[in-house]
């Protein structure tokens, strides 16, 4: 009897074991779904910092001047210290978050020896609105900060698990050129009340390494292609007996035709648009691509060709620089830089010009379109266009206003009269089919 009962007991034990495994798998699946439900939320919890202002741009310019690593080191050895206020750190952090994903935001609250990090990141390729709202407490150490507390949405992450995630994050960062360079250079991060200090090593090859990271070989090859295309267009203009000035409307089509061809061949359409606009912006400011990155060599082109827009050589600079900034960092940053430039002109004597602001806003709209609907913009610009397609008539707008006249007439930046002038500029931009509405292309 015992021999006969043996197989039955074995089958019973197997059934029980399988049920236990199935129950455990179900419990793990339920736990995973519950964790996912707790971690993922339907909307961002923490918006980015307040809209970038002209004062922020002035602050950022001063920050870059103070922390320029090309300046002589204050002491012996390769170590330097980057010092940032809480506002400066948050402006940089928010721009990095925006580069990660559209709508992403991050902010840092600093205190003595610790900091609270809050970030809202959209879940990529989600069919519904899904966000990871992350809150972490960082603790200062002798090196990089450690995580003391971590919460994702409504899901608290145990400290031991957060500690294990850091090496994984470091591995992911090392896999990117920017992350590898940062981890290699940064020695320590000091957390202070309303102040952040980053101690980093800057060797003799620091600038070359930084440029190589920002512009890896593939990006340098892309920029070289556009520099050569611009050179060919300028040479054709000179061969045809063109004068010293050339309308921006004549150069946008050939460069964006190249962008369309390269995108159709499997290229990144946004990256192609960025390269085309950056190439034109350098030409408008009198620089060559090889001035920016010596490793990039393009065919020589006539140096006397000046880009114009509405018969002026300053409008292309406003338009193209704002377009590049908007594509790279979003519209508010480009708008703030435009306002900062005009308020700086008030102090420097050249005066405040609303038509310059109009060129800035037009470029901002084009830059946002180059990121939001990149291939449609390529196809449209490659067909050819007139200046009136992307720049309204602004000859009647006030310009060269002194500080006294500007304040007396418009009350300063953000005053009602100033806002009415901005609304008039936006009305004129809305009348242009190319720029009038988000994503709307004729």
234-284 pLDDT tens trace: 989 988 888 888 999 999 999 999 999 999 978 899 999 999 999 999 899
- Residue 415's DSSP bridge partners are none
Give domain status of residue 190, yes or no: yes
Same domain, 178 and 275: no
Please give the residue that has the higher pLDDT: either 323 or 204.
323
- pLDDT category at 3 given cuts 50, 70, 90 is very low
Q: Which two tokens stand for residue 20?
A: 């236990």
Same domain, 201 and 221: no
Percent of the chain with pLDDT over 70: 71
Give how far Cα 330 sits from Cα of 73, 102, 131, 335, Å.
Answer: 34, 9, 20, 9
Same domain, 97 and 223: no
Q: Decide: helix, strand or coil at residue 192.
A: strand
Same domain, 187 and 297: no
Same domain, 241 and 352: yes
End-of-domain residue from the set 209, 240, 269: 209
Same domain, 200 and 284: no
Q: Which two tokens stand for residue 438?
A: 């988000």
- Residue 111's DSSP bridge partners are 114
Q: Can you give the residue range of the structural domain that contains 170? A: 54-209
Same domain, 269 and 143: no
| Residue with tokens 């990039």, as numbered in its chain | 296
Provide the pairing of β-strand 131-139 with 155-157.
Answer: unpaired
Give domain status of residue 17, yes or no: no
**Residue 253: per-residue pLDDT:** 96
Please give the residue that has the higher pLDDT: either 64 or 221.
221
Same domain, 220 and 204: no
Give domain status of residue 130, yes or no: yes
Task: Give how many domains the chain has, as a whole number.
Answer: 2
For residue 190, pLDDT beyond 50: yes
Give domain status of residue 298, yes or no: yes
Same domain, 319 and 403: yes
End-of-domain residue from the set 191, 209, 227: 209
End-of-domain residue from the set 209, 238, 272: 209
Give domain status of residue 26, yes or no: no
Same domain, 128 and 67: yes
Same domain, 227 and 165: no
Give domain status of residue 21, yes or no: no
Give domain status of residue 436, yes or no: no
Give domain status of residue 14, yes or no: no
Same domain, 119 and 233: no
């Amino acid at each position: 009897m015992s021999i006969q009962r043996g197989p039955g007991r074995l089958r019973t034990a197997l059934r029980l074991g399988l049920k236990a495994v199935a129950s455990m798998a179900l419990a793990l699946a339920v736990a995973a779904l519950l964790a996912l439900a707790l971690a993922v939320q339907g909307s961002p919890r923490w918006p980015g910092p307040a809209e970038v202002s002209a004062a922020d741009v002035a602050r950022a310019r001063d920050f870059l001047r103070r922390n320029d690593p090309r300046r002589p080191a204050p002491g012996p050895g390769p170590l330097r210290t980057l010092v940032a206020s809480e506002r400066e750190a948050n402006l940089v952090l928010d721009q990095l978050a925006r580069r990660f994903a559209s709508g992403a935001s991050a902010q840092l609250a600093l205190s003595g020896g610790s900091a609270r990090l809050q970030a809202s990141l959209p879940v990529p390729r989600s069919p519904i609105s899904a966000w990871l709202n992350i809150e972490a407490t960082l603790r200062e150490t002798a090196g990089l900060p450690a995580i003391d507390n971590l919460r994702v949405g409504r899901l608290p992450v145990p400290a031991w698990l957060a500690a294990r995630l850091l090496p994984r994050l470091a591995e992911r960062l090392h896999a990117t050129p920017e992350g590898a360079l940062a981890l290699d250079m940064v020695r320590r991060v000091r957390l202070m009340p309303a102040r952040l200090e980053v101690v980093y090593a800057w060797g003799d090859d620091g600038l070359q390494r930084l440029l190589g990271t920002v512009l890896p070989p593939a990006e340098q090859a892309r920029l070289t292609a556009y520099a050569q295309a611009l050179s060919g267009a300028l040479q054709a203009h000179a061969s045809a007996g063109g004068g010293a000035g050339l309308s921006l409307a004549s150069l946008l089509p050939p460069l964006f035709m190249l962008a369309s061809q390269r995108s159709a061949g499997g290229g990144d359409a946004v990256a192609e648009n960025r390269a085309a606009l950056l190439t034109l912006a350098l030409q408008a400011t009198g620089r060559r691509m090889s001035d920016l990155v010596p490793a990039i060599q393009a065919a020589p082109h006539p140096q006397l060709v000046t880009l114009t827009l509405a018969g002026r050589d300053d409008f292309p600079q406003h338009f193209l620089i704002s377009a590049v900034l908007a594509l790279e960092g979003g519209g508010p940053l480009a708008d703030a830089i435009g306002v900062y430039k005009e308020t700086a002109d008030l102090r420097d004597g050249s005066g405040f010009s609303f038509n310059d602001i109009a060129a800035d806003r037009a470029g901002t709209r084009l830059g946002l379109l180059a990121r939001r609907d990149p291939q449609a913009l390529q196809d449209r610009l490659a067909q050819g266009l007139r200046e009136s397609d992307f720049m309204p008539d602004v000859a009647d707008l006030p310009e060269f206003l002194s500080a006294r006249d500007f304040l007396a007439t418009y009350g300063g930046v953000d005053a009602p009269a100033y806002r009415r002038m901005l609304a008039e500029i936006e009305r004129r931009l809305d009348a242009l089919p190319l720029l009038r509405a988000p994503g709307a292309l004729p």
